[in-house]
Amino acid sequence: MDPTGNNLYHAFNRIRKASMRRMHKPNHRLKPHEFFMLASIHHLCECHPLPDQPGIKISQISQKTGISMPGVSQTLSTLEKHDLVARRTSKEDRRMVYVSLTEKGSKIFHESNQSFTKIYDHAIDVLGPEDSQKLIDLLNQLADVFETIEQNENTKGNTQ
């Protein structure tokens, strides 16, 4: 068995652990899944705004993140208790619930995101522009491979 796959896994695990420690450095003490949810809501609301909607639907968060509806709801409840997100029920259709970041949630997202960005900026300074670009290209190539594998597995699962 080739140890390269195992070495790659361990390298990614070291990166994950280092970034998780970084996530806990700011005073906000967000758990990884909570930060991920804030980032997802920010991205979906800010980068893909829908006119006349006061946020993003919970079902859209579930669909875009791949997290189950109960998982999304549970995380949102925690974030809501800390006044990081707000839920709004549609006046036209009471079944429709929209989620958005509160001012506090937006501030914490941006502060935490800046903390993450600093570590990558520092890594780029250390690696240099050429090696950084090579790494970016290789990581994008690896992401493409993982996505292809997942699509193939999903296709096989649907045909069985």
CATH architecture of 4-159: Orthogonal Bundle (1.10)
| Two structure tokens written together for 1 | 């068995």
Measure the N-to-C terminal CA separation of the chain; round to a whole number of Å.
29
Residue 100, beta-bridge partner list: 86
> At residue 116, does pLDDT exceed 90?
no
Percent of the chain with pLDDT over 90: 51
Longest Cα–Cα distance in the chain: 59
What does DSSP say about strands 85-89 and 56-57: parallel, antiparallel, or unpaired? unpaired
Highest mean pLDDT among 21-30, 40-49, 78-87: 78-87
Instruction: Report the b/e string of 48-75 with b at 16+ CB within 10 A.
Output: eeeeeeebbbbebbbeebebeeeebbeb
46-70: average pLDDT: 84
pLDDT (mean) for 8-22: 84
